Structure formats: structure tokens, C-alpha cells
Amino acid sequence: MVTRKVFGIVLAGGEGKRLMPLTEDRAKPAVPFGGQYRLIDFALSNLLNSGLRQIVVLTQYKSHSLDRHVSQTWRMSGLLNSYVASVPAQQRLGKRWFSGSADAILQSLNLIYDEQPDIIVVVGADHVYRMDFSQMIDAHIASGAAATVAAIRQPISLADQFGVIEVDPNNPEHIHRFLEKPSDPVGLPDSPGEVLASMGNYVFNADALIDAVLRDGELTDSSHDMGGDIIPAFVAQGAAGVYDLNRNDVPGSTDRDRYYWRDVGTIDSFFEAHQDLISVMPVFNLYNREWPIFSQQLNSPPAKFTRDARGTLGTVIDSIVSLGSVISGAHVERSVLGPWAVVGSGAHVADSILFDRARIDAGATVQRAILDKEVVVEAGARIGVDRAEDLARGFIVTDSGITVVGKGSRVRAAGA
């Protein structure tokens, strides 16, 4: 049996404008998620668990936090040329930044030439999911396609939110058309009420991908995007296949979370994805020991729940609390607390996300809010209670009522 050499590319140059202010000082893939993780940890964990051992992370926008996380967290032993390497934009083709995801690969072809792989797996860095890419690679090789797109089934009513794959009725593994946010989609042959939405994950024959990005780089009317330009080019050639996530069987997954995938590109979707973590039977289960999500292991003490000076006991319900956090005589409900978060006496935190080292002082109230790292909510202050009050402070408040407080902000009580 011939063993194919597989190379992984993680596209991590996204600016993440729709996640502002969480991306004001960091790249989107570096945004904390689920307490102790970063968004990029999900893509890298999937690749590593799938057996890939040579992976590059292409970075660009405000990449310091992301580069540091990759270098500190994803150190490999170096045996058998194993590595996860963060590669910033190198401007190898002139003094310009990446103009799109395909251009990022074009400007990084030296990485591919160095390794000379047979198969290249290209994934995004900002989705929350589990996937065994080795199964997709096997399906790609068996299909004979030059490019294979991973897809997840979505209700046809949501088709206008995704890149939609229309399959050949006579060959459901062959892409007939690739449509960007269609208003009149065609349902699947075996499920007319569903469509296949692109997950932004691809498997390519290496020579085909190299040829495709070189050709695309010569075009003046291209946006140089993987989903918008490269995949449609393969479809036009009749060389693109689709891999339905329903075929993927991740060890340890449950019926509830087996086909979970979320694009957390907006504040609302980011918030909702956290709510998926904290239910009694989580929609996405972080506790799957057979397919772990890896991240930086902080040198921190356990979380601590104590009575306050008056003997009032802190209570925590349906929440995730990270290492180093202290909850003292406070109430926390349906929330996710990052490392070293502190919630003081009489404070009330509900339906919220606190990044690392956020501090909620005595008697403060935080509800339906996202607090970036090192935010301080002073004694008696309120966040997420009065929309007008939050807007007057300059905070972002979504239409659904989620208040977002930027990194390092200090929130004082009204009149203080």
C-alpha cells in the first residue's frame, strides 16, 4: 500500500471585523473560546487527532497573540519532522499583504515545495467542530477528484447564509454547482429540505492546488479566495467532489454533538456557541476524552468557590469555570468564566462570557454580556441591564441585546 504524504495548511489571517471589539487587538483565530481555549485550537486539534504531523498556520492580521499562542501551545517533539509552525505573511511576491485566502497559499508555496506532499488539507481557523480528516482524505483519494470540499447539512431555509454545494443527482459525491448564498437553492436528492453548506475545509491533490493558485494569481478579476475562486474553478473543470460530514465518525462523539459545526463569525453566533457548551447535555461536548481539544496548559491553581466575609455562599449553576478563578459569595449562572476570573461578594453574573482575568466586584451585575480580558466591573456597576446606559458608555450592544466590553475596560457604577 502506497502511503501518501499529507501537509496541513491553516488559514488564520482573518481580520474578524464582525467580532469587534474582541478582534481590536488580536486576530480572529486568537479570540478566546470556552474558557481556556482559542478558536484556532479546534482546527489544530482536529488535524493533530487525524494524524497530521506537518502543519503550517498562515497568519497576517494583528498576529502577535496568535503567533505566541501557537509557539507556546503547539510545540511538537521534532521527531520525524513533526511540527506546527506559525508563518506570517512573507511578501515573497512583492511588498504586499495577502489579498485573499488563495493568495495566502500562493505567497507561501515555498512551504509546499519544501515538503513535497501528495495531499494538502486546507482548513479555516475560526470554526468550532470536531472532524476526523483522515476519513475525508481516504474518501478524497477513492473518489479520484482533484479537490474535495467538506460540507455539512443545513436547512434549506438557511441556504442564503452559506456557500451551498449543489450535487449531481446521479453522483452525489460530485459537485455540480457551487453557489454563494443562493436565494433559490435546490435541496439534496435524498433530503429535499436540506442543502450542503461548505465548511471551509478542503482536501487537494498537491499538484492540482499548486496549479490552481498559480493560475488564479495571474487573474486581475479574481478576489483570490479559496471558496469564491479556487473551488468554483475546480467545479468548472468537473474535478471537485464533496464530503458530507454525515459520513464522518469521530471517536467518542454522541448523537447530540456528532455533526456539530459553528461559524462563530458574529457576536451573536459566538455567544450562542458558548451557550451550546453549558447545558446539562451539551450540544458540543468539551469532555470527549477520545478526541480531545488541546490548548495551552496554564500553570494555575484550581478554581475556588467560597463564602464571603459575611458567610454568604457562592453559587454556580450551569456554567464553566476555568483554572485560577475565584467566586466568593456571588451567584454565577449559565456563564463561561475564563482563567483567573474573579467574582466578588453579592455580585450576580448570568448568561455571560468572561475572558481571562476579568473582575466583577462586590454587588455588581453582569448579564447577557461578553467581557474581554482584564475588564473590571466595579462595585455596584451594571452591565447588560440597561441598553441605553451601555450604549452611552460606548459599548457595543447587538440587536439581540448582547453587550460587549472591550479589553481592559473599567466599568464604574452610575454616578460614581
Which DSSP letter does residue 191 get? B
Between 138 and 181, the higher pLDDT residue: 138
Residue 81 domain-assigned? yes
CB 33 within 8 A of CB 319: no
Residues 394 and 320 in one domain: yes
pLDDT band at residue 91 using 50, 70 and 90 as cut-offs: low
**Are 274 and 319 found together in one domain?**
no
- How do residues 247-282 score in pLDDT, each as one tens digit? 999 999 988 888 999 989 899 999 999 999 998 888
| Residue of 81, 132, 124 lying closest to 105 (CA atoms) | 124
User: Is residue 264 located within the same domain as residue 362?
Assistant: no
Binding residue numbers: 163, 180-181, 198
Q: Is residue 168 part of a domain?
A: yes
Domain match, 212 and 310 both:
no
pLDDT at 312: 80
Residue 2: pLDDT band with limits 50, 70, 90: low
Q: Residue 295 domain-assigned?
A: no
Overall size of the chain counted in residues: 416
What CATH number does residue 80 fall under? 3.90.550.10
Domain boundary among 278, 294, 326: 278
Residue 47 parent element (H or E): helix 40-49
What domain count does the chain have? 2
Do 393 and 309 lie in one domain? The reply is: yes
Taking residues 155-173, report their average pLDDT: 87
Quickly tell me which residue has 488564479 as its cell. 216
Output phi, psi for 383, to 5 deg.
-130, 130
**184 and 96, same domain (yes or no):** yes
Interior CA angle at 63 toward 232 and 68, to 5°? 125
Q: Of 278, 313, 340, which marks where a domain is finished?
A: 278
Of the two residues 335 and 82, the one the predictor is more confident about is 335
| Sequence-distant (≥ 6) Cβ neighbours of residue 253 within 8 angstroms | 130, 285, 288, 291
* Residue found under cell 495548511: 9
Q: Contact, 87 vs 98, CB < 8 A?
A: no
Q: Where are the beta strands (DSSP E) in 113-244?
A: 119-124, 127-129, 147-155, 163-168, 171-180, 194-205, 240-244
Phi-psi region of 31 (alpha: psi -120 to 50; beta: other; left: phi over 0): beta
Q: Supply φ then ψ for residue 268, to 5 degrees.
A: -65, -45
CA dist., res. 154 & res. 66, Å (int) = 31
One domain for residues 266 and 321: no
- Cite the annotated binding site for alpha-D-glucose 1-phosphate by residue number: 163, 180-181, 198
| pLDDT beyond 70 at 412 | yes
Residues 220 and 315 in one domain: no
Mean pLDDT over all residues of the chain? Answer: 91
| pLDDT confidence tier of residue 236, bands split at 50, 70 and 90 | very high
The values of phi and psi at residue 302, to 5°, are -65, 160
Predicted confidence (pLDDT) at residue 34 exceeds the cutoff of 90: yes
Q: How many Cα atoms sit within 13 Å of 99 on the Cβ side? A: 17
CA dist 88 and 12 (Å) reads 10
Contact between 48 and 78 (Cβ < 8 Å): no
Q: Find cell 477520545 and name the residue.
A: 290
Comparing C-alpha atoms, which of 234, 260, 215 is closest to residue 146? 234
Domain assignment of residue 86, yes or no: yes
Distance separating alpha carbons of residues 283 and 253, to the nearest angstrom: 11
Contact 319, 353 (CB under 8 A): no
**pLDDT for 162 beyond 90:** no
- The reply to whether 292 falls in a domain is no
Listed residues 244, 278, 312: the one ending a domain: 278
Mention every residue, 6+ apart, whose C-beta is less than 8 A from residue 72: 296
In a domain, 294, yes or no: no
Q: What is the pLDDT of residue 120?
A: 97
The yes-or-no verdict on residue 388 having pLDDT over 80 is yes
Residue 161 three-state SS: helix
136 with 257, same domain: the answer is yes
Residues forming a β-bridge with 286: none
Same domain? 224 vs 104? yes
Check whether 79 has a pLDDT greater than 70. Answer: no
Count of C-beta atoms within a 10 Å radius of residue 57? 27
Q: pLDDT of 285-322, one tens digit each?
A: 999 999 999 988 778 999 999 988 787 888 999 999 99
Instruction: Name the residue among 98, 86, 382 with its Cα closest to residue 226.
Output: 98
Q: What residue numbers bound the domain in which 323 lies?
A: 304-411
Cα 100 from Cα 90, distance rounded (Å): 14
Do 267 and 316 lie in a common domain? no
Peptide bond into 21 cis (omega under 30): yes
Q: How large a percentage of the chain has pLDDT more than 70?
A: 96
**Residue 23 placed within a domain:** yes
> Does 36 map to a domain?
yes
Work out the pLDDT band at 39, boundaries 50, 70, 90: very high
Is residue 65 located within the same domain as residue 143?
Answer: yes
Q: What integer pLDDT is reported at residue 222 of this predicted model? A: 86
